[in-house]
Amino acid sequence: MAHNLQSVLLFGQPGVGKGTQGEIIGSIPGFVHLATGDMFRGLDRDSELGQEFIKYSSQGLLVPDELTCRLWQQYVQGLIDTNQYRPNSDVLLLDGIPRSVAQAELLDSHIDVLRIIHLVCPDTDALVERMKKRADKQGRPDDADEDVIRRRLQVYHDETQPVLAHYDPSTVVEIDAIGLPGEILQKILNSIIPVARDVIQNPLG
């Protein structure tokens, strides 16, 4: 497995807009968006791993760290093998990982964190409403049930929030997640382009 993958982390509570922003930025040459939620949802539901994922996500819980990181490594390797991600000239935009301190430690030997974009939304009720709305649109059963959503927010608070302290504070940029997607995008790009420039030598190559 490759190491020193030059990475930007998208960080923030469930529903804060990481996926929306990640997808847009991932369409820019030189950036590769990897969302672990999508990775898990792409598993065959009838497979052992797929069942394992459903067992945890349907309760609003995290998939165990070892399994998550092992799958993540295989997934990254798959992107490299299929030329969808070129570690020498692409920045990896990680969305949804690391989600616990243990995961951050497991990832330390693989990634260099150039920037952490912390999307912030103090209005938790607004996030819950957003998630309920997207449940049907995206076919996400874990978004349909308010109890499960609240559990996910709690798990974020207890297990994911402490991840920030694992990294150098100078890499963290807080961005207000309320506003037009275009405005938020602009702020994110302003803070990641300068650190990504050195990595992205030949974006169209």
Where does this chain bind ligand ADP (CB under 6 A)? 14-15, 36-37, 40, 56-57, 61-63, 68, 96-97, 99, 103, 142, 152
Give the residue with the Cβ less far from ligand ADP, 56 or 167.
56
| C-alpha span between 91 and 73 (Å, rounded) | 16
Residue 103 near residue 96, CB atoms below 8 Å? no
The residues near 177 (Cβ < 8 Å, ≥ 6 apart) are 12, 16, 17, 119, 120, 121, 184
Least spacing, CB of residue 4 vs ligand ADP, in Å? 20
Least spacing, CB of residue 72 vs ligand ADP, in Å? 7
Looking up tokens 């559990």 gives 151
| C-alpha span between 183 and 22 (Å, rounded) | 14
SS3 10: strand
Give the residue with the Cβ less far from ligand ADP, 99 or 187.
99
Residue of 176, 196, 198 whose CA lies nearest to 186: 176
Give the residue with the Cβ less far from ligand ADP, 7 or 68.
68
Give the residue with the Cβ less far from ligand ADP, 18 or 115.
18
| C-alpha span between 84 and 126 (Å, rounded) | 35
Least spacing, CB of residue 11 vs ligand ADP, in Å? 11
Least spacing, CB of residue 26 vs ligand ADP, in Å? 15
Using Cβ positions, the residue closest to ligand ADP within the complex turns out to be 37
Least spacing, CB of residue 152 vs ligand ADP, in Å? 5
Give the residue with the Cβ less far from ligand ADP, 30 or 188.
188
